[in-house]
């Protein structure tokens, strides 16, 4: 029952975040930007303005909301629903990914930190639960503690991701406004799209923290026995 204290609020927030991003994205995907600029064209304009036009390639990729910036090969990948779309949602998402490219170019601290802990976080994400499960089954608090320490790396990764994503969204709004790609009336719309996306990262972080607290409760309870 102790787990419910942590997981139910996190679960509700996660469900709301998923509903919110889908409904918000759908709403603003149906609204054409006043400039009629596609996501790919907006991204190209912003990259040029920041001296990255010749270094960062823009490529279309399959999927929906699969957009990402890959710092390994300096590629800005835009999903099919963003690349060629002229909607408010499309140019907002494209600008957000440009924000990551600018972060990379400017050696933004949290982005560099996140990149450095990716290998550890990936290993911890796959190994922590099996170790925790074996520890609980064998009633081995040492294994449970090892699992907790590993899962802590996952939580840290989520925490570091928050400023990276929020900052990229702030850069996106500023860049779009300064480049004249959105009107004054369209800025709040872009903010709503990016705000809904940011909430999914917050929800994932809260869920990870809730799980960690539950694991700590198990450890503390087992140690007291």
Give catalytic residue positions. 97
Q: Are 72 and 57 in contact (CB under 8 A)?
A: no
Q: Are strands 68-70 and 57-61 parallel, antiparallel or unpaired?
A: unpaired
Residue 68, classed as helix, strand or coil, is strand
Q: Give the Cα separation of 212 and 203 in Å (integer).
A: 14
Q: Tokens 């800005």 label which residue?
A: 76
Q: Are 135 and 157 in contact (CB under 8 A)?
A: no
Give the tokens for residue 216: 């700590």
70's enclosing H/E stretch is strand 68-70
């Amino acid at each position: 029952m102790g787990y419910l204290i942590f997981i139910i609020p996190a679960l509700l927030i996660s469900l709301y975040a998923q509903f919110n991003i889908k409904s918000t994205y759908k709403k603003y995907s149906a609204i054409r930007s006043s400039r009629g600029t596609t996501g790919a064209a907006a991204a190209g304009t912003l990259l040029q303005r920041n001296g990255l036009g010749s270094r960062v390639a823009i490529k279309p990729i399959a999927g929906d909301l699969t957009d990402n910036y890959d710092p390994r090969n300096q590629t800005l990948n835009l999903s099919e629903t963003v690349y060629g779309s002229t909607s408010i949602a499309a140019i907002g998402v494209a600008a957000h990914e440009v924000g990551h490219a600018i972060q990379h170019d400017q050696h933004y601290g949290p982005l560099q930190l996140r990149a450095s802990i990716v290998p550890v976080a990936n290993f911890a994400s796959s190994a922590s639960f099996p170790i925790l499960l074996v520890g609980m089954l064998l009633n081995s608090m040492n294994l449970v503690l090892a699992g907790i320490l590993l899962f802590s790396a996952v939580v840290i990764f989520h925490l570091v991701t928050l400023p990276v994503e929020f900052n990229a969204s702030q850069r996106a709004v500023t860049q779009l406004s300064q480049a004249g790609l959105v009107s004054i009336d369209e800025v709040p719309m872009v903010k709503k799209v990016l705000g809904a996306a940011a909430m999914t990262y917050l929800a994932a972080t809260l869920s990870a923290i809730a799980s960690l607290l539950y694991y700590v409760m198990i450890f503390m309870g087992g140690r007291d026995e």
